[in-house]
Amino acid sequence: MKQFKRSAVAVLSAALLGAAGLAATATPANAAQDTATRTKYYLTFDYSSWSHWTPDSKASSHAGTLNAGENYVYCYTTGETYSDKGHTSNVWLQTDDDSGNVNVYVSRVYLSAGSYNVTLPRC
């Protein structure tokens, strides 16, 4: 019965939003605002790389691409240990990629030498 009530509320909420000309989404309404107001740290990436929804290199978490060059990151977290381009790290940087995805992760191994040891806040 509780599940039915939740489903009914969800359907009615979607109908009311639709009638008002608004779209219901699974993403919090303030998600875009959060990325706009967060501090950005600009770092240089020597290589283009895949971005991921989670801090790992799995193809199943592949989101898009972050191009080589200067890009901003918000923070870092630890995740899967990953090796490429002669570097190994378990540090993943949260950013918005060049494919339009927000709050995705790229491995620190793609950073240029000058950006590799920049101090960032933890996510």
* DSSP 8-state class, residue 15: H
Asked if residue 3 lies in contact with residue 78, where contact means CB atoms within 8 angstroms, the answer is: no
List, for residues 76-117, the tens digit of each pLDDT value. 999 999 999 899 999 999 999 999 999 999 999 999 998 988
Cα separation, 11 vs 122, in Å, equals 38
Give the residues across from 20 on adjacent strands: none
Element (H, E) at 51: strand 49-52
pTM: 0.71
Indicate the pairing of strand 62-66 with strand 69-73: unpaired
Q: Which pLDDT score is estimated for 56?
A: 96
What average pLDDT does the segment 39-46 reach? 96
Cα separation, 62 vs 55, in Å, equals 10
* DSSP 8-state class, residue 46: S
